[in-house]
Every structure is written in C-alpha cells, then in structure tokens.
A and B are shown apart, each in its own frame.
Chain A
Amino acid sequence: MSEQKNIGIDRPSFLQRLVKQKMALVGGIVILLWLLVGLVSFFYTPYGPNEVNMAEKLLAPGAGHLMGTDNFGRDILSRMMCGARISLLLGFVAVCISLCIGIPLGAFSGYYEGKAGNLIMRVMDSLQAFPMLILVMSISVALGRNSFSAMLAVGIAGIPNFARLMYAQTLSVKQSAFIEGEHAIGLPRRDILVRHILPNCITPILVRLSLSLGSAILTVSSLSFLGIGVQPPTPEWGYMISDARGYILTGEWWMIFFPGLAIASLVLSFNLFGDGLRDALDYRTQ
C-alpha cells in the first residue's frame, strides 16, 4: 500500500503518539522518578547511606525508617535512593560504551561490506555466541572487582547487540532509493553514511537503547549479587540483595524486598518505555 493512502496530512507528531502509548508513559514517568530520586540523593537522603548505627539494626519498616534498616542499622530508604543513581549511572555508562563502539563498527561493516567489515561482524558473532552473563563475569573478574570494570564488562558484552542492529539497519537503509540518489548526485560515501544512513537508523537504536539500559542495569545488579560488581559498602541494589539474602529466613524481608522491587520497577520501566517507543515509531502499527 502506498504511503499516500495514509490518512496523512494531520498525522500526529511523534510525541503525541508516544503519549498515546499509556504503558510507555507510565514507564517514562517511573524512569524520570527514579532519575529524580537519584539526583535528590546527591543532596538529601533521610540518613547517610553508609551511616552505621548498630543500635537501630534490623528495624522493620516504620515511622523512623520508612523501609526499615539493615544489619548495620543503615537506613534502607537512603541506600535505595543512592542505589538509584548508581544503577542508572552504571547502566547508562555501560550502554554508552556498547553504543559508542557498536554503532560505528556496525555502520562501517554494513556500509562498506568489504573484508574488514566481514571480519568485524564475525568477531561480533563470536562474541555473541558467549553466554552473556559468563562473558560479563569473566571480563569483570579479569579487570578487577569494582564498579568500573563491571560497567566496562557489561558495555563490552553489549557491543555486538548494537553492532549487529546497526549492521542490519545500514544494510536495509542502504537499499533505499534515496541513498542511490545521493550516489547519483556524487555525494561522498562518508557523507552519505553520516548524513543519511546514520540518522535513518536512529529509531530502532533508540528502542534498543531503552531496552539495553534495562538489561544492563539487570546485569550489573546480577554481577553485584554474585559479588563481582561493586565494592562494599556501595549501596548498589544487587549488592544490597546479596547482602540481605541471609536475612530472609529470619524474617527481615524488607532488606531483600525493596531493592528487588527497585530493580524490577526500573528495568520494567525501561522495557515498557522501549516497547512504547517502538510502537510509537512504527508506522505499521498505526
């Protein structure tokens, strides 16, 4: 069917369409909330996130400590607030690493298709053959146990995702008549790549970005859970769960419950948002 048949002229803007995606909206709002919480945590938390107070250890949620305290009497709410900024930051930097390396690699191999490109994609395939978590664990153990290496590991492991997406996108956009038109005009290949192909691949990359952020946060927290991610006593959510697992039997459920909820809500929001983004950007679902 031709585009022209589409009801067309007064087609709603992208933002309007995104807002129509109610779930994406919810996701976006929750992400913003967490972002806000993370920002606020720089200036204000009810208690210090690492403030030990043995006199108040293992308090159930209540007036003084809304989410209770942990085995060192640290306020869980405060730790959760700081955890938001840590998770968001780690996830964001990790995805940025994947993005900044993956996109150029994918675009290069997709557009120039030569031997080098072929080799790059083979390397990507091999990387993708690794079980993700194992690769991440290996890399971050190899680089030393801290949040930086966890971030780097998640970032590296995410490169093939973006490279392959970009590769496929580039290949498909390259087929468009308008790219051929640019060739006909004599626009240098590099310009075509940068000015025409890259911008036209943005849409799926944005979607992937959102989804990847979710999974990066999840992976980083898995690492912390396994004891590889962050250094104690960083209030990272996964690390908090790992810390708290010994207390679930004695009935101190709040120690494990809230961080888990936080991870789930943040990751879910990124997924919802990415999903909505995809729907809003996809003309076919109109």
Chain B
Amino acid sequence: MEPILKVQDLHTEITTNYGTFEAVSGVSFELGKGETLGLVGESGCGKSLTSLSITGLLGPKVRVAAGEAIFEGRDIFKLSPKEMRQLRGGKISMIFQEPMTALNPLFTVGNQMVEMMLPHMKITKKEALKRSVELLTDMGIERPEQVVKSYPFELSGGMLQRVMIAMSLSCNPKILIADEPTTALDVTIQAQILKLMNELKHKYDTSIILITHNLGVVAQICDRVAVMYFGRIMETAPVKRLFEQPLHPYTKGLFLCIPKLDQDEDFLSTIPGMVPALTEKTEGCAFAPRCPRCTDRCRREEPELVEVEEGHFCRCWGVLEDKA
C-alpha cells in the first residue's frame, strides 16, 4: 500500500529564553491511504508537536529543525506559506482536544464552517452553508439548520466535537489529524464520537492520525499504533498485534498500569521512576532509567527503530537481541 504521508526523521526544536531543546527527535512513520494511525504516549511526549509540525501550526518559538514529510510527492516542510495554507484545511485538516475552546465563541457555528470551505472550494457562501447543514446531518445532529445558527456556547461538548468533525471533513481532506478528540468528553459521549468516527472513516475515505493517551480508544478505532516516549517513537505495530504481543518494555508497562474493569486487583504494576524532563540530556535509550531489563548497552547507545516483524517496528536493544 502506497503511503499517503511519509514522515522521515522529524526533529522539532523549542527555543525558550533559557536554551533550545528538542521536543520531537527523529520521529518517522508512514500513513497509508484510508488507514487510521494511533499515536499514543504519556502527556508531554511530543504527540501534539508532531502533528502540529506536519500542519505547520507550530508557535513562534517552535520550529522543525530537520526531517521531511512527503505528502503527494512534495515535502511539506519546504512549502511556501501560501502553499501550506492551501494544504491546511483543504487536504489536511485537524480536530483538537477541547471542543469548547477550539471554536471561536463569538461567531456562529455556520460562519466558522463556511469560513473553512471558502478558501479551499469553488463555492459561494450560500452553497457552503448548505453543505454545512448536510455535513451536520451526516454527523447525526438533529435540526442542523438551527445548529448552524447557534453560537458555540449554546451547544454541548459532544455536539461541538461533532461540529468540529463535520468542519474538518468539509473539504474532503486526504488526512485528518485528531488530537485527543475525546479526552475532554464524558465516556458516553466519547463512545458516540468514536462510533461516529468509525462510520465516517469509510464514508469519507480519509486517512486519520488519532492522537490519544487512552489505549482503549486506540483499540476501538485504529488500524495501526505508534507508541511515543520522550519525543521518540518506541514501537509501531498493527493494532491487534500490539495489543496481543507488545514488545517494547515501555508498551508492556503501559498495558499493565491500566486497572482492569473485569477483575479485582490489589496492586497495579507500575513503571518506576519519572519521565525525564525534555531539557535533560539523555544518553543511550531514553527509557533506560526506568526499564526493568536495561543493560549497559541501553545506557550507552540509543537503539534504532527496527522492523522486527512485518509491520512491527521496535526501538529496543533487548527486543533486537531476543530476535537475533
């Protein structure tokens, strides 16, 4: 399958008054057509920055230092601001975590949806509005004509997230990047959104990058998963394989941390230690200090992301040795 997006060795740097450090170091992945890629990892591991790098929405003090992202045969990072704008929203669209704050409170939902379509489609305002209503209907929203006229504060979080999804799909994007789209929502609403996204995936035939830290969500919706830690991808595998046979010690640790719904436990197993601060210099494997099976080599040398099995990549000396 030909990947639609190919990210190679992405490095993203943050400059603060007190120095520059890398928040994303050497992230590479491929996104297949129609595929849903889950990007999981703990808070601060660089998931959002990775996605923002791809869409060129990094803040003023953050920049892509190296790497390339090939989309439709061109490197996104080399596009002019104007070309980038055409891409954004048009071919690559985004959904953010907090639907309540992601929409401008002072404009109607319709206004903000129309605004999205106008620069990317040959369409009049009126048609765009009509399309908005259609899209909202697709999202399972009742009385969309009314919703189009309402302001964000008049709608519930679940509704707004649907609006956001409708909006992001409005220009038939090739790629949809959803940054924790359900984290701020109640479980029941989250379930509905996930259901909706599962349905839409096929209907709109978009590739999705889903960012989350909830492994349950990943299991429900993704085709492939990439596990991030400390600005690096530690393991990538098809979802089923990862859940059945995680290789990387960090991934394994993560799974064990989650309390089970269907059995009593007296103690949860934990990953000892803490995530190092980004400003700290690490040598060797970033996970080494917390790894139960860490060796001298782990502390010295950083492992590469290696394909251990068909479609299953892992960044761990131990795993490599096991395979060897």
Contact surface of A with B, Cβ cutoff 8 Å: 2, 4-5, 7-10, 12, 17, 20, 286
Contacts and interface: CB of A to CB of B under 8 A. Distances in A.
Interface string B265-307: 0000000000001110000000000000000000000000000
A9 B277 CA distance: 8
A10 B17 contact: no
B277 A7 contact: yes
Interface in B13-47: 16-18, 21, 43-44
Interface of A is mostly: helix
B16 A286 contact: yes
B44 A5 contact: yes
A14 to B, nearest CB: 13
Nearest to A9: B277
Given A286-B16, A286-B17, A7 B278 contact: yes
Given A7-B277, A8-B279, A9-B277, 15 more contacts: A2-B43, A2-B44, A4-B43, A5-B43, A7-B18, A7-B21, A7-B278, A7-B279, A8-B277, A9-B279, A10-B18, A10-B279, A12-B18, A286-B16, A286-B17
A12 B278 CA distance: 16
Contacts of A286: 16-17
15 contacts: A2-B44, A4-B43, A5-B43, A7-B16, A7-B18, A7-B277, A7-B278, A7-B279, A8-B277, A8-B279, A9-B277, A10-B18, A12-B17, A20-B17, A286-B17
Interface centre among B17, B278, B279, by most chain A C-beta atoms within 10 angstroms, is B17
B283 to A, nearest CB: 18
Interface string B115-139: 0000000000000000000000000
Contacts of B18: 7, 10, 12
A261 to B, nearest CB: 33
Contacts of B17: 12, 17, 20, 286
A15 to B, nearest CB: 14
A12 B277 CA distance: 15
Nearest to A8: B277
- Place the interface of chain B in its size category: under 10
Interface of B: 16-18, 21, 43-44, 277-279
A2 B45 CA distance: 13
A17 B17 CA distance: 9
3 A-B pairs closest in CB distance: A5-B44, A7-B279, A8-B277
Interface centre among A2, A7, A9, by most chain B C-beta atoms within 10 angstroms, is A7
Contacts of A12: 17-18
Contacts of A5: 43-44
Nearest to B280: A9
A8 B17 CA distance: 13
B296 to A, nearest CB: 27
A167 B191 CA distance: 43
A17 B277 CA distance: 20
B16 A4 contact: no
Contacts of A8: 277, 279
Contacts of B16: 7, 286
A12 B17 CA distance: 10
B35 to A, nearest CB: 29
Contacts of B278: 7
A17 B21 CA distance: 19
Interface centre among B16, B18, B21, B278, by most chain A C-beta atoms within 10 angstroms, is B18
A67 B59 CA distance: 50
A4 B21 contact: no
Contact of B44 (A4, A9, A17): A4
A219 B44 CA distance: 50
Contacts of A10: 18, 279
A2 B44 CA distance: 9
Contacts of A7: 16, 18, 21, 277-279
Nearest to B274: A4
A8 B19 CA distance: 13
Interface centre among A5, A9, A286, by most chain B C-beta atoms within 10 angstroms, is A5
A283 to B, nearest CB: 12
B90 to A, nearest CB: 29
Nearest to A11: B18
Nearest to B18: A12
B42 to A, nearest CB: 11
A279 to B, nearest CB: 11
A7 B21 CA distance: 10
A20 B16 CA distance: 12
Nearest to B275: A4
A187 B16 CA distance: 40
Contacts of B21: 7
A20 B19 CA distance: 13
Contacts of B279: 7-10
A182 to B, nearest CB: 28
